[in-house]
Structure 1
Amino acid sequence: MSTLPSSEKSRKQPPSIYTVILVLAMLFMLVAVIAMVVELGRWAPDYYRTNTARPGAMLVPASPTSMLA
């Protein structure tokens, strides 16, 4: 093995199948996240806006006489 620099250019290795699968998985996950955000906006546009929310239950104060029984 020579320690002198060679005049040949080193070739870049092509990506392995595992790198391609990793990139495809990342791309599909990104598409899935974008699709879920779009669906959240369509089906629950006010999901995070709770200032207009109305409680579904009615609170009734207990009378002092019913607590003794």
Structure 2
Amino acid sequence: MVILAILIIVYIMIGYGLFLNTLSEEYIKSVWTPIIWFLWIIVLWLPYGVYSYLKERRTKDES
């Protein structure tokens, strides 16, 4: 669980650096920042959703 939290923090930092710092112009930033954050949140929570789904399915199969 601790490793997962560390990976999530690193993932957020890399995404922040790659996406927001490359979009330096203000008009591009104002248009793209909400879209990028929305997509980034989806990408960030996708592995957690898949993990929890597989974990739930595995416990259902065992019982």
TM bucket (normalised to shorter chain) is 0.3 to 0.5
Q: Which structure has more RCO (C-alpha within 8 Å, separation ≥ 6)?
A: 2
TM-score (structure 2 length as normaliser): 0.44
* Largest Rg, 1 or 2: 1
Query: TM-score normalized by structure 1?
Result: 0.41
